């Protein structure tokens, strides 16, 4: 009897160990974004490429190597700002990309904006390219990648299971209309079984609120990838609290993003368990930073560019690891 029970236990453990995860690598792009998703089927999608030059491209390649990835199936560019699209020319020299996804064309036509966009278009010239719209999906096996914003447009109807009234609507004053690329960010809701993660790039205040007011069109999420590096042009309580995220992960730099306003809006969010940060925000002090244990880069110098890794299971449980220390924390299914 006992040996049968042990055999069953061993089989159950083996089954659990073999269960494939959705892995997410948050690279340190020093206040830019570069987030690599590796699906349970082994497909890869990189959200943004960090800044121009070798540093961020090398960090992306290192994470891809760690994930066992030798090419990128997709690179999704949220918007045409230098800390998101700037890394493309160096990245494509190092790693093959099958398909680029973006919202179309840049609306920023000063000299720098035009040069940045041209460098991107030149770098992707030989590559398949998809222009994506709200309501579209990125075709991936085993996970659902739903686009909720792009080029200033938003999904117009609540997603399945969403549509709840948001009691905070109207409490955060609206801001001036944002005519920059930020308000045109491609935003995604990524679902793997019961696990849900939201990433809106640098989407700003008004657009974020329109997604959750008067009713919440996105629904809730387990993990909130903090909008706009935690800058205070994004991340109102009206938006953040509607997600009811358990964990927030902020891709801030030591001196970019990580504002007290964005931090406190998350900290006061219902159901929040932990905030993880790529950097300690120098200006925030202890009151507006998470613990060192949940911070990938504590000291501003020397810059070692540590990342954060998240592994999610189909049941909604997930583990987050600080790649500086190896410290891991598991968040159970709910």
Residues that bind Zn ion (CB under 5 A): 81, 83, 182, 202
Sheet holding 35-38, edge to edge: 128-131, 96-102, 71-76, 44-47, 35-38, 22-26, 308-312, 318-322, 328-331
Cβ nearer to Zn ion, comparing 186 with 320:
186
Least Cβ distance, residue 146 to Zn ion (angstroms): 22
Cβ nearer to Zn ion, comparing 47 with 294:
47
Cβ nearer to Zn ion, comparing 78 with 166:
78
Tokens 């987030």 belong to residue: 35
Cβ nearer to Zn ion, comparing 50 with 284:
50
According to DSSP, the residues that pair with 147 across neighbouring strands are 188
Give the CA angle between residues 39, 211, 174 to the nearest 5°: 135
- Is the Cβ–Cβ distance between 52 and 88 less than 8 Å? no
Quote the radius of gyration of the chain (alpha carbons, Å): 19
Least Cβ distance, residue 24 to Zn ion (angstroms): 18
Cβ nearer to Zn ion, comparing 38 with 77:
77
Least Cβ distance, residue 162 to Zn ion (angstroms): 26
Burial profile 259-293: b = 16 or more Cβ within 10 angstroms, e = fewer: bbebbebbeebeebebbbbbbbbeebeeebbbeee
Cβ nearer to Zn ion, comparing 219 with 230:
230
State how far the Cα of 52 lies from the Cα of 46, in Å rounded to an integer: 16
State how far the Cα of 294 lies from the Cα of 245, in Å rounded to an integer: 16
- Cα dihedral 261/267/268/273 (nearest 10): 160
240 CB burial (10 A radius; 0-12, 13-18, 19+): buried
Cα 137 from chain centroid? 16
Least Cβ distance, residue 331 to Zn ion (angstroms): 26
Least Cβ distance, residue 50 to Zn ion (angstroms): 10
Least Cβ distance, residue 204 to Zn ion (angstroms): 9
Whole-angstrom CA distances from 182 to 80, 173, 194, 265 are: 8, 19, 29, 20
Cβ nearer to Zn ion, comparing 21 with 277:
277
Least Cβ distance, residue 51 to Zn ion (angstroms): 10
Least Cβ distance, residue 127 to Zn ion (angstroms): 23
Cβ nearer to Zn ion, comparing 186 with 213:
186
Give the CA angle between residues 246, 305, 267 to the nearest 5°: 25
244 CB burial (10 A radius; 0-12, 13-18, 19+): middle
Cβ nearer to Zn ion, comparing 43 with 227:
227
Least Cβ distance, residue 185 to Zn ion (angstroms): 7
Whole-angstrom CA distances from 246 to 14, 157, 221, 330 are: 28, 25, 8, 12
């Amino acid at each position: 009897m006992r040996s049968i029970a042990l055999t069953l236990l061993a089989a159950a453990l083996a089954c659990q160990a073999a269960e494939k995860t959705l892995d997410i690598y948050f690279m340190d792009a020093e206040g830019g974004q570069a987030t690599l998703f590796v699906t349970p089927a082994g497909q890869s999608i990189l959200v943004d490429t960090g800044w121009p030059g070798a540093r961020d491209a090398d960090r992306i390649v290192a994470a891809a190597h760690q994930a066992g990835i030798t090419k990128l199936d997709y690179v999704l560019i949220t918007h045409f700002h230098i800390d998101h699209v700037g890394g493309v020319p160096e990245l494509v020299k190092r790693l093959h990309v099958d398909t680029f996804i973006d919202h179309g064309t840049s609306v920023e036509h000063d000299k720098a904006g035009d040069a940045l966009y041209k460098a991107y278009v030149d770098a992707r010239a030989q590559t398949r390219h998809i222009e994506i719209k709200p309501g579209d999906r990125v075709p991936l096996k085993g996970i659902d990648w739903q686009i909720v914003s792009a080029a200033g447009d938003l999904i117009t109807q609540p997603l399945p299971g969403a549509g709840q009234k948001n009691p905070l609507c109207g409490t955060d004053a609206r801001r001036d209309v944002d005519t920059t690329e930020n308000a045109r960010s491609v935003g995604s809701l990524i679902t793997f079984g019961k696990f849900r993660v939201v990433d809106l790039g640098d989407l700003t205040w008004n657009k974020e609120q329109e997604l959750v007011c008067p009713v919440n069109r996105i629904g809730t999420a387990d993990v909130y990838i903090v909008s706009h590096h935690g800058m205070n042009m994004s991340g109102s309580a009206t938006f953040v609290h509607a997600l009811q995220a358990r964990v927030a992960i902020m891709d801030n730099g030591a001196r970019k993003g990580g504002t007290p306003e964005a931090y406190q809006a998350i900290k006061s969010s219902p159901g929040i368990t932990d905030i993880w940060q790529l950097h300690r925000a120098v200006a925030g002090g202890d009151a507006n930073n998470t613990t060192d244990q949940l911070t990938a880069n504590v000291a501003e110098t020397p810059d070692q560019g540590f990342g954060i890794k998240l592994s999610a299971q189909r049941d909604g449980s997930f583990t987050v690891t600080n790649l500086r220390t190896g410290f891991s924390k598991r968040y159970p299914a709910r």
